[in-house]
Amino acid sequence: MKRFFPDFFLLIVAAVVVAWWITRPAMLTASEAVGVERPGDLANGELVFNAGGCASCHMTPGQTDRRRLGGGLALKTDFGTFIVPNISTHKADGIGAWTALELANAMQRGVSPKGEHYYPAFPYAAYAHANIDDLRDLMVYLRTLPAVSGKAAGHDLQFPFSMRRFVGLWKVLFLDAAPIVDNPTQTEAWNRGHYLADALGHCGECHSPRNFLGGIVQGQRYAGGPDPEGRGWVPNITAKGIGSWSKADVADMLATGFTPDFDSVGSSMADVVKNMAALPKADRLAIAEYLKSLPAVDGPTKLPKPPKK
């Protein structure tokens, strides 16, 4: 018994040390970040900005200028309320003092310049697959946008989700930072669409069901599910949901918001359409080609609405 307690204590200490190491915020390595501080391409940066949907979340609520990125939008989830930060060029309240490498670490590793985890409500699990040159170009474009004063409020999360260190465990379980590699058996357009949908556009982040920890259920990726913000149901966009749509139908919806059956998209998808409409038509067709190639996958069962009292 005397030996049991010291051994048990050492086991606990060892477990804590291992857990602390595993959940540490990990930055990009020097080889992964090659070229991030080189001069960039402003036009491509604007394209990345639109494809990534930056304005949809970071635009200051209550105004229509998509260039004013003061943050403040509240995202209500089962884990609590996330408040979108200011990413304008304001040096104190936004990211005006950031380097391109710091932006890349935020978007590909979910780590702040202070070395803290970001919560995955920020879709870095998708941005992690982006090309480092695209992130450099994005920073070039962001630096042309106006400074907006006012630091966004902090998140209001339930315990234990309020403890950022636990995000490190989430990353171990769900963050795959492998780059997207072109499939030589597919067309150039398909490969472009794959990159735009799975990396910059982060389509799967909304159109996939999630488990109780907030990780995507990979076997049902793109098969729709409950809106994480509790605002209805996100549709299945595999062949199970849009199998009757043509490639042109998908591309037109991304440009206009109108579906082939003369309905219109709503909720956050309306904002996505504003972003996608700013892309070249060839990119919308590329996304359509990729989505149309997805096999039919059954999504989660949609529960009936409770009867009105």
Q: Evaluate if residue 11 carries a pLDDT over 80.
A: no
Look up the pTM and report it: 0.88
Tell me the mean pLDDT in the region 123-138: 94
* Most confident option among 34-38, 196-200, 255-259: 196-200
Pairing mode, strands 80-83 and 74-77: antiparallel
pLDDT of residue 166: 86
Residue 8 lies in a domain: no
Exposure letters 37-48 (e unless 16+ CB within 10 A, then b): eeebeeebbbbb
In a domain, 7, yes or no: no
Amino acid sitting at position 262 = F
Residues 166 and 193 both lie in one domain:
no
Assess if residue 207 is contained within a domain.
yes
Residues 105 and 239 in one domain: no
Asked if 238 and 111 sit in the same domain, the reply is no
Mean pLDDT of the chain: 87
Confidence of residue 263 (pLDDT cuts 50, 70, 90): confident
Would the CA dihedral through 284, 257, 234, 75 be positive or negative? positive
State residue 300's pLDDT score: 85
Q: Is residue 9 one of the residues assigned to a domain? A: no
Domain shared by 168 and 260, yes or no: no
Asked whether residue 84 falls in the same domain as residue 60, the answer is yes
Higher pLDDT, 39 or 129: 129
Using N-to-C axis directions, what is the helix angle for 247-256 and 267-277, rounded to 10°? 100
Q: What's the pLDDT band for 45 if we cut at 50, 70, 90?
A: very high
Does residue 308 fall inside a structural domain?
A: no
pLDDT tens per residue across span 285-309: 999 999 999 999 988 887 655 544 4
Please check the confidence at residue 89 and state whether its pLDDT lies above 80: yes
Q: How many Å apart are CA 38 and CA 23, to the nearest integer?
A: 31
194 shares a domain with 161: no
Which pLDDT value is given to residue 281? 96
Range of the domain at 241: 181-300
**Domain-embedded: residue 156:** yes
Structural domain count, the chain: 2
Is residue 1 very low, low, confident or very high in pLDDT (cuts 50, 70, 90)? low
**Residue 307 is assigned to a structural domain of this protein:** no
